[in-house]
Amino acid sequence: MITVDPSQPDTTIAALRDRAMPSLKEKFPNAKTLGVTRSDVAREAKAVVGDFLAKTGMELNLLDQRDLVTAMVNTFMTEFAAAPAPAGTAQVAAAEQAQSEDRSHDPVREAPARPSSRSSVEQAKLKLQPLMLERIDTSAAAKLPREDLSRDLTVLLAELLAETKIQLNAAERQELVKQLLDDMLGLGPLEPLLADETISEIMVNGPYHVFIENKGKLTLSDVQFRDNAHVQAIATRIVTAIGRRIDESSPLCDARLADGSRVNIIIPPLAIDGATITIRKFSKKKITLDTMTKFGSVSPQMAKVLRIAGRCRLNILISGGTGSGKTTLLNALSQMIDHGERVVTIEDAAELQLQQPHVVRLETRPANLEGNGEVTMRDLVKNALRMRPDRIIVGETRGGEALDMLQAMNTGHDGSMSTVHANRPREAIMRLENLVGMASANLSPRAIRQQIASAVDMIIQVSRMRDGSRRITYISEITGMEGDVITMQDLYTCEVTGESADGKLVVDFKNHGLRPHSLPKAAYFGLDKQLLETMESS
C-alpha cells in the first residue's frame, strides 16, 4: 500500500490534486450553465477523492483527505471563475444580467433554489445572521429563556426570509433557529457534540479541525467554526461564565462548563494555529465501582478491595496518564466516604462530584490584570487544614502542595486522596518526591521518602490501553522503608493475554496472594476478615 510522505505534505497534496482534477472536471462539463455552488463542488470532490484512493490503493488520513478536497475545490473554483461563460443559453444570459444589476439595496443574494439541506442552512445562516444581529439586542436576548428566544427568532427569521427571498423548508428553518440559539446562548458548533453522550472528549484545533474521542478512539468530526474569531468568541464565553479571562496577557486558562466538564483553553500567541479548546466531558451517568466492574475495568475482587480501602480510611494516591480515568476513579472511590464526615475538595477547576452532604469545594484563582490576587493549590491545602476536615481530596497534585498534602495525611486526616501523573506505582512515588522538592522545604531525599512512606497507604494505577479501554493495572501498597528505599507490594496487577476478533484486548487481573499490609487498619474498622476473604477468593 502507498502512504503519504509526511515530510512533504504540500508537494504530495499538490501532486494528488493534479492527478484527481480531471475526474472532478468531468462531473461539471459546463459549470457556468449549471449554476453550481462551492458546496456542490466540495461534495463531488469528496466522492472523487474516495474513488481515486480506492483505485490507486493509496492511504490518506482524514486530515490529508480534507486538505486534498480543499485544494481541488479551490483550484476548480479559481478556474471556473476565470473561464469565459459559454454563450447561447438562457441561464448564462440570466447570470450575466444578475451580475450587471446594482445590488446595493439587496444586502443578501438569493440562495440556490435547492442545494442540499445542510448546505442551504449554512448559506442562509451566513447571510442572515448579520442582519438578525442588527435587529436584536444581544445582551437582552442572552438573558431570555431558550424557549422564549426561540419563539422570537422564529418570527424574525420568517421576516428576513421574506425580505431576502431565501427559500427554506420547515425543517431547515428549525435547524437554522437551533444553530442561531446555540451561537447566542450556548457554545455554537460544539453544542451537538456536547449533547452526544457517546463522546467523551472534544478537541478544537483551530476553526476547521475539531476532533472527538468516542469509545477511546480519536476521530475528526465534521464540525467547523467560521474562523479564528469565532473560536475565540466561544473560548471567551466559557471562561467569563466562571469569572476568568482569556486574552493575550493571559493566553491559557483552565475552566469548567455548567455541567462540570473540564476545559483547557490556549490561544495565540502561544497557540500558533489559532485558539485551541480541549473539553473533557463530564459523564451524566454516575460511574461506580460496580459500573467499572461491568465494563471490565476492574475485577469483582479488586472492586471489593477498593471498597474496603475507602471505608477503612486508607490514604490513596491514584496514578495514571492523561485521559486514563483518574478523576473518574476518584469519584467512584469517594462514594465509600461516610456521610457523617466533613470532606474538603481542592481543585484547579472544580469537577469532582461527591454525593456526601458535608462537602466543601475549593477552587484556585488566577492572578488579576495587575498580577495580584492569585490563590494557588498550596494556599488552599494550607487553609483546608484550618477547616476541621475529616478528609482532604486534592483533584490533582502537581506542585509544592504535595508536601502540605503529605503532612495532612500524617496529622490525622486519614482517608485523604489525590491523583498524580505517572505510568507506574514506583514512578508515582518518584513523581511525588519531585513535587515535594518544588515546595522549597530543604528536606533531604530520605526525609521526603519517610514522609511518603508514612503518609500514603495505597497507590492505584489506571491506564488507557491501545484498544481505548481504561483499566486498573495495579493495586499496590507502600509497606515502609528499607534503608533509603521505599518498599512496596503489588496486591493485584493486570496483564494483557491476547486480543479478541473485534480488536479488544483480553486481560487477566492477577492476584499475587500477598497478605495486605493495611490489615491492621481494616481490623480497626472491623473489615479485616472481609479483606482476607476477598484476597483468598480471587
Q: What is the CATH number of the domain that holds 201?
A: 3.30.450.370
Residue 136 lies in a domain: no
Indicate whether 250 and 314 sit together in one domain. Answer: no
Indicate whether 389 and 302 sit together in one domain. Answer: yes
- Tally the domains of the chain: 3
Q: Give Cα separations from 310 to 115, 194, 306, 341, 526 (angstroms).
A: 60, 32, 6, 13, 13
Q: Give me the sign of the Cα torsion angle 46, 48, 54, 59.
A: negative
Closest CA to 382 of 368, 366, 365, 403: 403
Indicate whether 388 and 272 sit together in one domain. Answer: no
Q: Do 436 and 451 contact (CB within 8 A), yes or no?
A: yes
Q: Do 460 and 318 contact (CB within 8 A), yes or no?
A: yes
* % of the chain with per-residue pLDDT over 70: 87
Residue 255 lies in a domain: yes
pLDDT of residue 433: 92
Residue that is last in its domain, among 40, 67, 87: 87
For 222, the grid coordinates are 465534521
0.85 surpassed by pTM: no
- Convert 239-263 to b/e letters by CB count within 10 Å (16 or more is b): beebebebeeeeeebbbbbeebbbb
Indicate whether 197 and 319 sit together in one domain. Answer: no
Helix (H, G, I), strand (E, B) or coil at 114: coil
Indicate whether 337 and 262 sit together in one domain. Answer: no
Q: Do 110 and 56 contact (CB within 8 A), yes or no?
A: no
Residue 427 lies in a domain: yes
Residue 497 lies in a domain: yes
Indicate whether 232 and 351 sit together in one domain. Answer: no
Residue 422 CB: number of other CB atoms within 10 A?
A: 20
Residue 345 lies in a domain: yes
Q: What is the secondary structure of 505-517 as a DSSP string? A: EEEEEEE--PPPT
Angle between helix 38-56 and 117-135 (nearest 10): 140
Residue with cell 493571559: 250
Residue with cell 505534505: 9
Residue 109 lies in a domain: no
Residue that is last in its domain, among 280, 309, 339: 280
Indicate whether 255 and 308 sit together in one domain. Answer: no
pLDDT of residue 104: 39
- The C-alpha atoms of residue 28 and residue 9 are separated, in whole angstroms, by 28
Indicate whether 407 and 271 sit together in one domain. Answer: no
277's CB contacts (< 8 A; 6+ apart) are 190, 202, 203, 204, 231, 234, 235, 238, 263, 264, 265
Helix (H, G, I), strand (E, B) or coil at 125: helix
Q: How confident is the model at residue 111 (pLDDT cuts 50, 70, 90)?
A: very low
Residue 94 lies in a domain: no
pLDDT of residue 87: 45
Q: How confident is the model at residue 345 (pLDDT cuts 50, 70, 90)?
A: very high
Q: Is the pLDDT of residue 359 over 60?
A: yes
Alpha carbon of residue 369 to chain centroid: 28
Q: Do 247 and 262 contact (CB within 8 A), yes or no?
A: no
Residue 480 CB: number of other CB atoms within 10 A?
A: 13
pLDDT of residue 86: 47
* Parallel/antiparallel/unpaired status of strands 470-482 and 343-347: unpaired
Residue 147 lies in a domain: no
Residue 364 CB: number of other CB atoms within 10 A?
A: 19
State mean pLDDT over 156-166: 82
- The C-alpha atoms of residue 348 and residue 361 are separated, in whole angstroms, by 11
CATH code (residue 387): 3.40.50.300
Indicate whether 271 and 318 sit together in one domain. Answer: no
pLDDT one-digit tens code per residue, 284-333 = 777 889 999 998 999 999 999 999 999 999 999 999 998 888 988 998 99
pLDDT of residue 297: 92
Indicate whether 252 and 368 sit together in one domain. Answer: no
Strand partners, 251: none
Indicate whether 244 and 299 sit together in one domain. Answer: no
For 382, the grid coordinates are 494550607
Residue 212 domain boundaries: 189-280
pLDDT one-digit tens code per residue, 182-192 = 777 778 889 88
Q: 215, exposed or middle or buried, with CB in 10 Å at 0-12, 13-18, 19+?
A: exposed
For 288, the grid coordinates are 461506580
Q: Torsion angle, CA of 429/434/436/440, rounded to 10 degrees?
A: 160
Q: How confident is the model at residue 118 (pLDDT cuts 50, 70, 90)?
A: low
- The C-alpha atoms of residue 475 and residue 461 are separated, in whole angstroms, by 7
pLDDT of residue 211: 94
- The C-alpha atoms of residue 356 and residue 177 are separated, in whole angstroms, by 41
For 75, the grid coordinates are 483550484
pLDDT of residue 197: 85
More confident residue, 42 or 327: 327
Residue that is last in its domain, among 69, 87, 105: 87
Q: Is the pLDDT of residue 224 over 70?
A: yes
Specify the amino acid at residue 36: V
Task: Please give the sequence-ordered ranges of beta strands (E in DSSP) within 221-261, or none if there are none.
Answer: 252-256
Indicate whether 271 and 389 sit together in one domain. Answer: no
